[in-house]
Amino acid sequence: MAGVLQIHEMTSSVGGTDKTSGTVRFKAADNVTVDDANRLQIGGATTYSYTKHLKGYVSSAPNTDFSNLEAYTDGGKFDNSVTCLYIHTQSWVANVTTSIIGADLFTKTAGAKIDMNSWDTTHTAGQSPAYWGDVLQLQLAVGSDATPGTLTAETLTFSYDET
């Protein structure tokens, strides 16, 4: 039987919420709720959202293993003054609204994916439910000259191999 890998969003605790094929909303609140509350405000300096952490969650174990977990975007951008920053890390840390000083997520495309198996390399049969793969920490940075209004959604894709 094929295994099932979900992508979980982790906020105020290490326990995550399934966001597979779902929406992650960047805002000025440390929660997973997708709503218009706690919107980010354009200010005199860059405004940062609370960080979001995404990690693979094996809800049903593979026959042999999962490997080669990667993440990438289509290379689009929200706005010239709005950037999605990322840090690829080994473990979850508390969410913050101060800059994570990450790289631009939209530079990571199908031709230059983020290797989400640098530390947690393979998930083998019989191990479920369990978290697997590295952590992708994300944060929205809104510049002081950003255009007001709701941004168009962007897509983050995760890929992996199963044997």
Q: What is the DSSP-derived secondary structure letter of residue 163?
A: -
pLDDT (0 to 100) of residue 12: 61
C-beta separation of 158 from 116 below 8 A: yes
Q: Which are the contacts of 112, defined by CB distance < 8 A and separation ≥ 6?
A: 72
- Residue 138: count of CB within 10 angstroms of its CB: 21
The whole-number average pLDDT for the span 127-156 is: 89
Question: Does residue 125 register a pLDDT over 60?
Answer: no
Q: Can you read off the two tokens belonging to residue 142? A: 């809104």
Domains in the chain with CATH codes: 4-162 (2.60.40)
pLDDT (0 to 100) of residue 4: 85
Chain segment 64-88, per-residue pLDDT in tens: 788 889 999 999 888 889 999 999 9
Chain segment 29-73, per-residue pLDDT in tens: 998 999 999 999 998 899 999 999 999 888 887 777 888 899 999
Q: Could you tell me the pTM of the whole model?
A: 0.90
Q: What residues does 91 pair with on adjacent strands?
A: none
